[in-house]
Amino acid sequence: MTSISANHVLVVILVAVLSKLLLDNHGYLKLTLGSLGVPLSSIPNPVASPYTSNISSTSDPLYTWASTFPGITSNAIARGYDVLSNGAKVRGVSASRPIKSGEHFIRLSLTSGFTMRTIESDPILKPILGYGSKLYNEVIVDAINAQNLEYEHPWEHAIPLALLHHFSKPKGASEYWGYLDELSKTDLSSQPAFNTPSEIFERFPELFESNESKSDWINTDHKWVEMYTIMSRRCRLHLESSYPSIFGPDILVRGESILSDENQKWASQLFYSRYWGQEFDLFDSGKTGNHGVMLPVMDSLNYGDHDNIDCGVSGGVEEGGNYFSCVAAADIEEGESLTFRYSDDTCKEVSIRSWGFYSPKMGPCREDKKPEVKRNSPPPPIKKKPRAKENDRPYVDTGDNLYDWSRTKPLINNVNDAIERGFNDVGNGLMVRGAVAARDIEAGEEYIRLELDAAINLRTIEDDPVLKNLLGFSSSYYRAVLPAAYSATNLDFTDPFEYILPMAMLYHFSLEEKAKRSSPYWGYMDELMDADLSRHPAQLSPEEVFDLFPEVFENKETRALWGRQDDNWQEAYHILARRTRRHLERAAPDIFGPHILVRGQPILSDENQKWASQLYYTHYWGEEYDLMGDGVVKQNGAMIPVMDSLNYGWNDDIECGSVDVPDENGDYYYRCMTHVPIKKGEPLVFTYSYGVCRLDAIRTWGFYHEEMPLCDGEHAGTTSGGSL
The string of DSSP letters for 363-376 reads BPP-BPPPPPPPPP
**Average pLDDT estimate for 29-56:** 28
Q: Can you give the pLDDT at residue 413?
A: 56
Q: Can you give the pLDDT at residue 48?
A: 25
- Reference 414, options 387, 447, 439, 382; nearest CA is 447
Tell me the per-residue pLDDT of 531-565, one tens digit each, with 9 for 90 and over.
878 777 878 888 888 888 888 888 888 888 888 88
Instruction: Quote the mean pLDDT of the chain.
Output: 75
Tell me the per-residue pLDDT of 640-689, one tens digit each, with 9 for 90 and over.
888 777 777 766 677 777 776 666 666 677 888 888 888 888 888 777 66
Alpha helical stretches, state H, 138-297: 140-146, 155-168, 177-184, 197-203, 211-242, 244-247, 261-274
Report the SS3 class of residue 349. helix
Q: Can you give the pLDDT at residue 254?
A: 93
Show the CA angle centred on residue 94, arms to residues 88 and 95, nearest 5°. 165
Report the SS3 class of residue 530. coil
Question: Taking each helix axis from N to C terminus, what angle separates 211-242 and 261-274, rounded to the nearest 10 degrees?
Answer: 120
Question: Under 8 Å CB-to-CB from 108, ≥6 apart: which residues?
Answer: 71, 72, 73, 295, 296, 297, 298, 323, 324, 325
- Reference 606, options 576, 561, 639, 649; nearest CA is 576
- Reference 395, options 386, 383, 384, 404; nearest CA is 404
- Reference 268, options 277, 279, 259; nearest CA is 259
pLDDT band at 251 (very low <50, low <70, confident <90, very high): very high
Our measurement of the distance from residue 478's CA atom to the centroid of its chain's CA atoms, rounded to an integer in Å, reads 20
**Average pLDDT estimate for 489-508:** 84
**Average pLDDT estimate for 43-51:** 25
Asked if residue 460 has pLDDT above 70, the reply is yes
Question: pTM of this prediction?
Answer: 0.54
Show the CA angle centred on residue 634, arms to residues 632 and 637, nearest 5°. 125
DSSP per residue, 187-226: --TTSGGGS-HHHHHHH-TTT--SHHHHHHHHHHHHHHHH
Q: Can you give the pLDDT at residue 345?
A: 66
Contact 455, 669 (CB under 8 A): no
- Reference 386, options 659, 622, 669; nearest CA is 669
- Positive or negative, the Cα torsion across 225, 229, 231, 235? positive
Strands 654-659 and 669-674: antiparallel
Highest mean pLDDT among 244-248, 383-387, 526-530: 244-248
Rounded Cα distance, 19 and 399, in Å = 68
Rounded Cα distance, 185 and 194, in Å = 16
H or E stretch including 471?
helix 465-471
**Average pLDDT estimate for 404-420:** 66
Tell me the per-residue pLDDT of 29-42, one tens digit each, with 9 for 90 and over.
323 232 222 222 22
Alpha helical stretches, state H, 539-627: 542-548, 556-587, 589-592, 606-619
Asked if residue 406 has pLDDT above 80, the reply is no
Q: Can you give the pLDDT at residue 317?
A: 45
Q: Which of 215-219, 225-229, 353-357, 410-414 has the least mean pLDDT? A: 410-414
Contact 189, 537 (CB under 8 A): no
- Reference 356, options 3, 1, 5; nearest CA is 5
Contact 396, 407 (CB under 8 A): yes
Q: Can you give the pLDDT at residue 252?
A: 94
Q: Can you give the pLDDT at residue 87?
A: 61
Strands 669-674 and 446-451: antiparallel
Rounded Cα distance, 302 and 82, in Å = 7
Task: Categorise residue 286: left if φ over 0, alpha if ψ from -120 to 50, beta otherwise.
Answer: left
Number of other CB atoms surrounding residue 650 within 10 Å: 14
Highest mean pLDDT among 106-120, 122-136, 151-165: 122-136
Q: Can you give the pLDDT at residue 683?
A: 82
Q: Can you give the pLDDT at residue 135?
A: 93
- Positive or negative, the Cα torsion across 638, 643, 645, 649? negative
